Chains A and B, each alone.
Chain A
């Protein structure tokens, strides 16, 4: 799994952090998403897919 982000699209909802706190964080200044782990281990994959699906700005792309 490889994750990419579109920071411009991120609306700082923080939903990804609520779902997958090991993989996503938010910048303190503006809340924009920060990727903690672009290639997370298998046990994180379900949470990452969930985060990508519910991100209200479609800012998270998951590649196989």
Chain B
């Protein structure tokens, strides 16, 4: 038996996985799940895919049925913002002033979309992070042909551009980098993606957004820093995200530079853990702090954070375990699926070992400080792709990993 309370802040992929793991792990005390969105936990990856295209309605996005949620016996606070955390006393403050004294807290507040200053309230300007964002953009894209400018050619901008193009809109994809997603995936895959977007009729431009032009409260175009303007009926601002740590800033005991900093156990302070997009934790296998904005990491990290919190509280007999995942990521564009294992971000070296733009096949290796840390592939049979995980499961010498990758994909 346990009494007391654990609060999980953020009611999305990581928050849900955390409360489930806490119950599975034997926590029978009060379990408060706090989320500032009004919705039950839903899945985000389909927002820029099946929801935006109109293939799915919002009701397909729910991560659990109400029955499944009821079985968790949660003190569920939706539409409720947490405004502060006092790590020393493990107290969470809510927007209405209520203070929750807790035995443990799991921070799972994710990230928020970065936007442009001064555009709030301008019709036709969108970000794409929440269900409400996606429904808003979907409404604009569900009717007659529009001129859509997507500002930012990272993963999110690329996926949205592909969907909008497939819906028949005139799409301009603007990025700092001439190749889509290059900062993450490097030249080879960037070239493949550029070929795909071009082939499907997306206009690609290199440039940096400076601001928007409006008339009668509606966007009419975007201005680039080189002084040029692009006419637009609808603008998607996809220029990255910021960890949702504003509510944690008041507590000097917490380091909130680029996410909530945690140790290898995902602990930020005694009794305080973090998981998902918001967590920057020390990965012993990579020897550095990582923050990963991928769907699978949200679940895996939440499960580990929950187990470690229960171990710390003495609810289980387990030892706390370091969180040492092999991260996994995928992206869908034009029916092509990119899949990656390991860590691509922060690589100082990237090499494409297989590239066949015609067949839409690619395989590439990523690394840092002489070690191979990540691998990406598209267009290969599933068994082959699964096999690539082993190549970088633990960061090892570049040349060895390179040879194994070559052998696995049959490149030259």
**Measuring CB to CB, which residues of chain A are less than 8 angstroms from any residue of chain B?**
9, 11-15, 17-18, 26-28, 31, 53-54, 56-58
Interface of B is mostly: helix
Within 8 A of A (CB), among B384-398: 385-386, 389
Is B240 interfacial (CB 8 A cutoff)?
no
Cα–Cα, bound, A56→B294 (Å): 9
Cα–Cα, bound, A28→B380 (Å): 10
CB-based contact A15/B296 at 8 Å: yes
CB-based contact A26/B299 at 8 Å: no
CB-based contact A14/B386 at 8 Å: yes
Cα–Cα, bound, A14→B383 (Å): 8
Cα–Cα, bound, A31→B385 (Å): 10
With beta carbons under 8 angstroms apart, the residue of B303, B330, B339, B386 that contacts A18 is B386
Is B147 interfacial (CB 8 A cutoff)?
no
Within 8 A of A (CB), among B287-313: 294-296, 299-300, 303
7 new A-B contacts at CB < 8 Å, known A18-B389, A57-B45: A14-B386, A15-B328, A53-B17, A53-B303, A54-B303, A56-B328, A57-B43
Chain B residues bordering chain A, tally (CB within 8 A): 25
What are 17 A-B pairs at a CB distance below 8 A? A11-B45, A11-B337, A12-B337, A12-B339, A13-B339, A15-B328, A26-B383, A26-B386, A27-B382, A28-B381, A28-B382, A28-B383, A53-B303, A54-B300, A56-B45, A57-B45, A58-B43
Q: Mark B333-354, 1 if CB is under 8 A from A, else 0.
A: 0000101000000000000000
Cα–Cα, bound, A26→B383 (Å): 8
Is B263 interfacial (CB 8 A cutoff)?
no
CB-based contact B330/A11 at 8 Å: yes
Cα–Cα, bound, A27→B386 (Å): 13
Is B111 interfacial (CB 8 A cutoff)?
no
Cα–Cα, bound, A13→B300 (Å): 14
Cα–Cα, bound, A30→B330 (Å): 14
